[in-house]
C-alpha cells in the first residue's frame, strides 16, 4: 500500500483545519502511522486509499481540535489600533495562525490557501470546517464525507450549508490573484525597490487606502494608508536603511523575506511578509516574526550585503 504520495495533500488539509503548519505535519505523520498499522483491515471495495486516509486524517484533526482555541490573525481579535507608535509587545499566549510554505509542496496544493480564507475557516466549528474542506475543496461526495466523519448525508449537507453561510459572513471571499500574475509581480517588484530604499512615500503609493498591516505575535494591527505610512516610517527610523528583500510565496500569495541592516555589516533576518495584491495595489500585509516560521521557510539567519 503506497501512502507517501498523499502526504502533501494531507498536510494541506490538516493545515487548513488547524491553522498551524507544524501541527499539520505532526498530524499527517500520525495519520500515516495509523494507516500503516491498520493496513490489514483496509477494504478497497468500500473506499479508495485516498478516501480512507482522509477519514483517518479528518478524525485526527477533530480530536486535536477538541477544546482548543482557534488560531487567529490580529485583525480577528478586535478593532485596529489608532497608535502607530504603540509598543509591539508579543502575545505568546495566543495560538497565532501560521503561514504555509508553498516552496516545499506541489503548486497545485495552494488553491484555497489564502491567509484570509484560512483565518476565516478557523471561525467555523471544527466539524463544519472538515465538511467544508472535504466537500468543496477536496470534492468528496456527501456520502463519502458521511462515512469519513461518522455522520449522515443529511447531516453533512446541513453542516455544509451552515459553514458556507458562516464563512461568507467571516470575510473569506475577495479577489484571488496568483503570485506569478504579471501585474502582481510588477507590484511586488516595485514594493521591494521601495522597501530596500526605505522610501516610505513610494511604499504608500503601492497600498490601498484601506490597507491592513498586522504583525503576529503582536496583537495590534492597523488599517489605512496613513497609519501604514506612519508605522513604516517608524520601522526605518528604528532599524535604519540598507534592507534586503527576497521573494517567495506563501499560502498561494506573494511573500517577501525581509532582512534588516546589521551593525557589523550584511543583513539579519527580520520578518516574513505575506501580501495580498488587489487591483494593482497591496491590500494586506501580514508580517510574521516568529523564528519557527523562518525555519519552516528555510530562511538563513544572515545574508551578505552583496
Whether a cis peptide bond, with omega within 30° of 0, leads into 79 is no
Q: How many CA atoms lie within 13 A of 280 on its CB side?
A: 2
Q: Which of 105, 114, 91, 104 is nearest to 19 (CA)?
A: 114
Three-class DSSP category at 83: coil
Enter the DSSP assignment of 136. I
∠ at Cα 244 (240, 246), nearest 5°? 150
Residue spans per domain, the chain: 69-123+170-306
**pLDDT single digits (tens) 192-221:** 999 999 999 999 999 999 999 999 999 999
**pLDDT tens per residue across span 61-87:** 999 999 889 999 999 999 999 998 999
Q: Which architecture characterizes domain 69-123+170-306 according to CATH?
A: Roll (3.10)
Residue 89: phi and psi, rounded to 5, are: -80, 120
Tell me the pTM: 0.93
- pLDDT digits 0-9 by tens, 8-43: 999 999 999 999 999 999 999 999 999 999 999 999
Query: How does residue 135 score in pLDDT terms, banded at 50, 70 and 90?
Result: very high
Amino acid at each position: 500500500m503506497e501512502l507517501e504520495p498523499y502526504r502533501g495533500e494531507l498536510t494541506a488539509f490538516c493545515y487548513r483545519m488547524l491553522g498551524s503548519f507544524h501541527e499539520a505535519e505532526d498530524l499527517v505523520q500520525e495519520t500515516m502511522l495509523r494507516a500503516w498499522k491498520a493496513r490489514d483491515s483496509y477494504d478497497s471495495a468500500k473506499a479508495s486509499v485516498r478516501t480512507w486516509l482522509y477519514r483517518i486524517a479528518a478524525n485526527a484533526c477533530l480530536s486535536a481540535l477538541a477544546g482548543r482555541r482557534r488560531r487567529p490573525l490580529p485583525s480577528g481579535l478586535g478593532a485596529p489600533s489608532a497608535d502607530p507608535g504603540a509598543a509591539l509587545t508579543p502575545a505568546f499566549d495566543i495560538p497565532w495562525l501560521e503561514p504555509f510554505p508553498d516552496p516545499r509542496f506541489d503548486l497545485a496544493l495552494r488553491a484555497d490557501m489564502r491567509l484570509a480564507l484560512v483565518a476565516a475557516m478557523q471561525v467555523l466549528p471544527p466539524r463544519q470546517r472538515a465538511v467544508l474542506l472535504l466537500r468543496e475543496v477536496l470534492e468528496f461526495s456527501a456520502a463519502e464525507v458521511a462515512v469519513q466523519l461518522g455522520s449522515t448525508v443529511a447531516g453533512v449537507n446541513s453542516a455544509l450549508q451552515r459553514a458556507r453561510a458562516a464563512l461568507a459572513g467571516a470575510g473569506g471571499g475577495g479577489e484571488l490573484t496568483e503570485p506569478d500574475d504579471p501585474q502582481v509581480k510588477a507590484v511586488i517588484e516595485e514594493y521591494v525597490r521601495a522597501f530596500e530604499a526605505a522610501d516610505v512615500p513610494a511604499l504608500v503609493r503601492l497600498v490601498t487606502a484601506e490597507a491592513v498591516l498586522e504583525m503576529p505575535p503582536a496583537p495590534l494591527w492597523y488599517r489605512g494608508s496613513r497609519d501604514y505610512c506612519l508605522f513604516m516610517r517608524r520601522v526605518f527610523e528604528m532599524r535604519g536603511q540598507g534592507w534586503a528583500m527576497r521573494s517567495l510565496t506563501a499560502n498561494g500569495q506573494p511573500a517577501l523575506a525581509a532582512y534588516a541592516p546589521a551593525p557589523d555589516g550584511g543583513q539579519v533576518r527580520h520578518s516574513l511578509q505575506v501580501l495580498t495584491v488587489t487591483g494593482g495595489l497591496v491590500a494586506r500585509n501580514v508580517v510574521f516574526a516568529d523564528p519557527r516560521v523562518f525555519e519552516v521557510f528555510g530562511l538563513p539567519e544572515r545574508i551578505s550585503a552583496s
